[in-house]
Structures are given as structure tokens and as C-alpha cells.
Amino acid sequence: MKFKRFLSIPILAVFMLLGFVYYITVFIFIEDWIGLQSYFGSLNAMIFTFLAALSIFSFSVCVLTDPGQVPASYVPDVEENGISDEEIKRNSVQSKLCDKCSTHKPPRAHHCRVCRRCVLRMDHHCVWVNNCVGYWNYKAFFMLVLYATIGSIHSTVIIITCAFRKDWDFSGHTPVKVTSGFMMAALSLTLGTLLGWHIYLIIHNMTTIEYYEGIRAAWMARKSGQNYRHPFNLGACKNITLVLGPNMLKWLCPTAVSHLKDGLTFPVLRDN
């Protein structure tokens, strides 16, 4: 059933883009630059192939992994782990009732109108993976963006180097190469911006939804003469390990999520 998610026009478009980028990088620009038979040509082709394989693997994991569904038996803890009512109200970490599902949803869970269910620690619904990005597949999504960005930058550098070494003119097939160069530069910029955005979110232990909710919460707090702090921000180092895991050797593996728990409760920053 999960493999049916691949039967989507955006996902097919992603695979076509990956195939096109791989073809022009390896069989056109590396071949034109130094040749695939040379040592450095083979080395660059192997590095780019490795990055492309990691991107496809991370992409597949992100598509096939359920982001996290609220258990039907979920009942909010009345005690809220010992947090005072005032702190709960100020930081908005209490469980809420979903208007669409008519059931309780844990902190950081949100209802997805596309999936028609509540998703644990929902970041956003991504049409390019035909899935929500949530608690269980966020790391795979981040790894996908990371590997795709590195691969795009690598391809762009190869294209620029090829252009300077070969002293392109605008005859023959060169306009196609120039167009491909601009396309890869734009793709690198787009993916790089997305990567920077999610690095910021990870460092602050936020989701995209929580970021925009935080803007409104901060405005409301200033209006009432109070200060707002994101309740789940435990410091950069702790925030990174909560998403990528405590073992640095497993940070780059999209399937290394043994550090994740149930996605129903999260540590919060408490006032002393």
C-alpha cells in the first residue's frame, strides 16, 4: 500500500529531474571536461553517483515512512508531567482537542487537511514526497535536502569548471550547456536556502508550523507586556541530538531513528 505513494505526478517529476541532472553532469559535463576514462573524471563521477544514490534513498525513506499517527487510545495526561497551569498556558504545550478528528491530539501534533488526520510533530505536507513530513520521517527529509544540496553544488562546480576550461562559445550545443548551468545554479540556490531554513529550525527545535505560530505568540506576549520563549528550545546541542540522534556517527543515516520515542511527549524548557 505504501508503494502507491510513488504513483504521483510530483514524485515522477522528481525522479525525472534526478535522472536529467545525473545524465548531464556525468555523461555531458564530466565527459566534456576531463573524460570519464581519466582518474579525476571517474572520481567525480563516483562521488556524484554516491550523492545521487543517497538522495534517492533518503527520498524513498521519506515517501514510505509514516510521519506518525496519534494512537486511538491516546488520552492526555491531566498532570502534564508536573507542569503548572500557568506555565502550560504561557507556553501552549498542553494537549488540545482536534476540531476535525474530534479527538485529543498531543503537543506539537497538527491536523493535515490533505492526509485528513493528525500528524505527530508535523512540519508540513510536502507534495514532492506525497506525504506529510512529521515525527518519524523528518530526519529522512532533512537528509534528502542535505544530500540533494551537496549534489547540486557539486554539479554546478563541475559545469562552471567545464565552462572555463573549454572556453565555451555559443555555437553548436553550447546554449544547451549554458541553460543547464543556469538551471543547476538556480537549483543549488533553492535547495541551499531550504537546507539553511531547516538547519535553523533544528537548532531552535521548531517545526515550520511552530515557527509561524511563534511569531503570533510573540506578538501577543509583547502586547500584554510579557516575553515569549519557544517552550521546546533546549539549546542548540540538545536540539540537534533530539532530531539527528546522540550518536554523531549515525547523523547522516536517514533510517537511524532509534533515539525517537513515541512522539506524544517532549521535554520542555521550564522556568526556574
- Taking only the tens place, the pLDDT of each residue in 20-31 is 999 999 998 998
- Residue 17: is its pLDDT beyond 60? yes
- Residue 149: the pLDDT is 98
Minimum mean pLDDT among 83-97, 120-134, 186-200, 210-224: which range? Answer: 83-97
Q: Which residue has the higher pLDDT, 78 or 267?
A: 267
Indicate the pLDDT class of residue 87, thresholds 50, 70 and 90: very low
- Residue 108: is its pLDDT beyond 50? yes
- Residue 230: is its pLDDT beyond 50? yes
Of 125, 135, 141, which is closest to residue 242 (Cα–Cα)?
135
Q: Is 126 a catalytic residue?
A: yes
- Residue 69: is its pLDDT beyond 70? yes
Average pLDDT over the chain reads 88
Sign of CA dihedral 231, 235, 241, 244: positive
- Residue 101: the pLDDT is 85
- Residue 104: is its pLDDT beyond 50? yes
Model pLDDT for residues 37-54, shown as the tens digit of each residue: 999 999 999 999 999 999
Q: What value does the mean pLDDT take over residues 43-71?
A: 96
Q: What value does the mean pLDDT take over residues 101-111?
A: 90
Indicate the pLDDT class of residue 88, thresholds 50, 70 and 90: very low
Q: What value does the mean pLDDT take over residues 109-133?
A: 95
With pLDDT > 90 as the criterion, what percentage of the chain qualifies? 67
Minimum mean pLDDT among 46-50, 72-76, 138-142: which range? Answer: 72-76
Q: Which residues contact 210 (CB under 8 A, 6 or more apart)?
A: 108, 230, 232
| Residue in 126, 132, 162, 253 annotated catalytic | 126
Model pLDDT for residues 165-192, shown as the tens digit of each residue: 765 554 455 677 788 889 999 999 999 9
- Residue 96: the pLDDT is 78
- Residue 236: is its pLDDT beyond 50? yes
Our CA angle for 232, 105, 145, nearest 5°, is: 55
- Residue 8: is its pLDDT beyond 80? yes
Q: Which residue has the higher pLDDT, 169 or 218?
A: 218
